[in-house]
Amino acid sequence: MAALQPYDDRDGWIWLDGKLVPWREANVHILTHALHYASSVFEGQRAYGGKIFKLSEHSARLRRSAELLGMELPWSVEQLDAACIETLEANGLTDAYMRPVAWRGSEQMGVSAQATKPHVAIACWTWGKYFDPALAEKGIRLDIAPWRRPAPYTAPTESKASGLYMICTLSKHYAENRGYNDALMLDWRGQVAEATGANTFFVRDGALHTPTPDCFLNGITRRTVMDLARRRGIEVIERAIWPEELETFEQMFITGSAAEVTFVGSAGPWNFEVGDLSRQLAKDYDDLVNGRIPNRD
């Protein structure tokens, strides 16, 4: 396996608090509040052909995520959009993954963060498919995660907050150590929730079923795929899904800005086919983000 290139030692530019700085100089202090108390939110978005897909939706969600953590970002959606475009152009990229991130700084240490200032950075880099394409073509294998998505009254589950991803990392490591590609997470009730970084969809009798996002992120890619399905007249059903139902579904796939539309071959003991409906929606999504069919912003 080729050595991974560290993310702190690369050429390029990162937008940091209003200006572009050389990649290796985009640093924060070791006593930054976010490092100790997870007071950070982020976005994951992709650019295709020089255009960042659903950019304003991502910028708006970044601001909303920060608000849910009690942070008021001093940059508007329009300013964040412009900063993302500036960062993409400065790095000379047209097809890229982008990571805007906002966090509380080092002005105060301790659980309280009233005196800290919010900071924002935006980085982008070339990042191909989230899962190996050959593997994804036949469907990835999901383990069942030992960790569950928390109840909405225990954490700000509508926020794309870094702290909520700790259990995702633990679950993904658990799955990978057991020979799987990712993990399917249940929620605190035992209902099907999502994968570690992507939403879940199931197909039965020509209809699309997806869990109601009442304790996990209602993904932008998720909503996009639901819209694409409805354009084709496919019935989309949002509802509670229990694990024992998985044996009744014919197909499964996951969606996310990084994962895009990825087919699932199995989840725990349940197996799925990579069927025509899943393939059609994957193609529709690829056509949409690459400008081959019109967007509906």
DSSP class of residue 283? H
Closest CA to 94 of 46, 131, 132: 46
- CA–CA separation, 104 and 32 (whole Å): 7
CA distance 161 to 108: 20
Give the closest residue to 175 by CA, choosing from 272, 264, 44.
Answer: 264
- Side chain identity at residue 166, one-letter code: M
Is-catalytic flag, 283?
no
- Spatial distance between the Cα atoms of 297 and 280, rounded to a whole number of angstroms: 21
Residue 79, helix vs strand vs coil: helix
Q: Which of 54, 129, 138, 160 is catalytic?
A: 160
How many CA within 13 A on the CB side of residue 22? Answer: 5
CB-based contacts of 199: which residues, under 8 Å, 6+ apart?
210, 211, 213, 216, 217, 218, 219, 221, 222, 254, 255, 256
Which of 144, 149, 145 has its CA nearest to residue 217?
149
- Which of 238, 198, 221, 237 has its CA nearest to residue 281? 221
Residue 102 tokens read as 């906002």
Rounded Cα distance, 207 and 190, in Å = 23
Residues with a catalytic annotation lie at 160
